[in-house]
Structure 1
Amino acid sequence: MKTVAVVVQEGFAPFEFGLACEAFGLDRSDDGVPNFDFRVVTAEPGAIGSNLGFSINVDNDLSFAYEADLVVVTPIPRSAWASVDERVLDVVRHAAARGAWLLSVCSGSFVVAAAGVLDGRRATTHWKYARTMAQMYPSIEVDPDVLYVQDGRIITSAGTAAGLDACLHLLRQELGAELTNAIARRMVVAPQRDGGQAQFINRPLPAAASLSLAPVTDWMLENLRLDLTVDDLAAKALMSPRTFARRFKADFGTTPAAWLGRQRIIHAQRMLEQTDLGLDRIAYECGFGSAAVLRQNFARVLGITPTAYRARFACPAAPPAA
């Protein structure tokens, strides 16, 4: 992926637009991150008004988007969902047909849906509008409980900040975990959030915040090779297993086992990128026990074998992660 086009339309949402600019448009070459040929495009170049009462001047028409490796679609006002500019829809259809990446941020998924390229696919959008999408486009399998969905080379994301999760997910596939972690560190965000947007749906705040589990999760990350059970972790946190599991789910949006499994995969990615250790040793260091178990879990989560991942992203000369 070398070229990125971000499509903006009248009434665009500034924050969601800014996410795409932050993820793909900044020069981070001093961190070893390759730059993209990044351009903001629109159907009618000139002043494009936001939904907050100010405008930006866009010089590029949509022609660049027909060649871009990635086309990012930002949200438009709800009143325009049923009447999206046909010129923008043509760009989206063309991108899908030629196998380019398509990524929508928040309700930008309605633009992608209007183009017809999500028919028969799984997708997501902001939880508040998920039912509306399902009603407008019954042929789309709308999942309201996740931060983003990748179906082939089309990525749809949930509300607002979930767009950044989707951008980082795509960057991990194109650049590898280590360079994506460098981007995330520059943005001061987590390189990958577990859980889904279900944790944000009409749920009241607790009366008091739970005890911090940071010391326990730090210890987990330092001891990935161990067979860590909920009972062991609960004892480390000085809690009962039931209380620990409940508080962990409340804080991280997922179970201790799922969170631990994801961290093991991330550690395996880093070791595959930065070392020439064999799969058996990496499996041991990451807590998978055997190379066979590592292969099974790695392929299930990332859709690629450890060997293929190493061939694509190996960079043993890279400095260790901060």
Structure 2
Amino acid sequence: MALGLALSTLSLHAAPPAQKIQVPGYYRHANGSFEVTALYDGYVDLGTPLLKGLRADQIQTLLARMFIDSSKGVQTAVNAYLVNTGEQLVLVDAGAASCFGPSLGQVQDNIRAAGYQPEQVDAVLLTHLHPDHLCGVLDKNGQPAFPKATLWAAQQDIDFWLDETTANAAPKDNQPFFRMAMDAVRPYKTAGRLRSFKAGDTLMPGVSVVGTPGHTPGHSSYLFSSGAHKLLVWGDIVHSHAVQFQHPEVSLEFDVNQQQAIATRKALFQRASESGWTIAGAHLPFPGLGHVRKDPQGYAWVPVEFGPIRSDR
């Protein structure tokens, strides 16, 4: 009788509402004495027709073996990386802010969640001037989100994306990308805080530029070196980990120079796998940190394991 009454009472109470909010999007990683914080900006759903170089059925097979549902587009992360070198706080890429809709724009909030403030950032290193990496340099009021930071970009990308003649000659569908780039950098440029570099330059102690062109004319990666520990933040070398590691010859429709992007990816995969560098990728599954392994067929992505911050590894 008592048991029946108890069960009857329980049935009158609904389960608590499901919680839809994910944990804050940051993850810490030690690179020697450098503290690296991966920051999640959000995601975009990329349609598989954007991938070029394999038949549609081959791409679907590669996605299916990774249990990826592409019926509504492949969920693709957008990541940025905050590196505390002990001397400077350096942000690589800044996310999309409001340029690409409500599924993106979380970098600034996740910097705060990670224990830092955007006002503390000394330098923003841009892998390239696409809006999903650049628009986040502004806050919601269109003012610099990183008021004391110097903005760094490759001279080739500055010459391409910030040039009015090039913008006006671009296909109409591509012209908004030029306008968004111009709008984002304008306050930094006006304040004299937009600076350029070339491949091979050392920007500050322990931070050097690795030229990785193709996706854009000046697409660049950044090698962070602390003793024997090396981390390469490589931007948009990979957009689909399920496809492009095994088939680095697959390009993306958004690559400005697809053949150059393919050659860059192949060379960088070989270099990264041979060197054992830790990799940070803008469009790899969050936190986008791991290693590249050479396989009999192409390469493979080996993500880092969740764990404590350990500078002894």
Q: TM-score, normalised by structure 1?
A: 0.27
Q: Using CA pairs below 8 Å that are at least 6 residues apart, which structure has the higher relative contact order?
A: 2
More helix, by proportion: 1
More strand, by proportion: 2
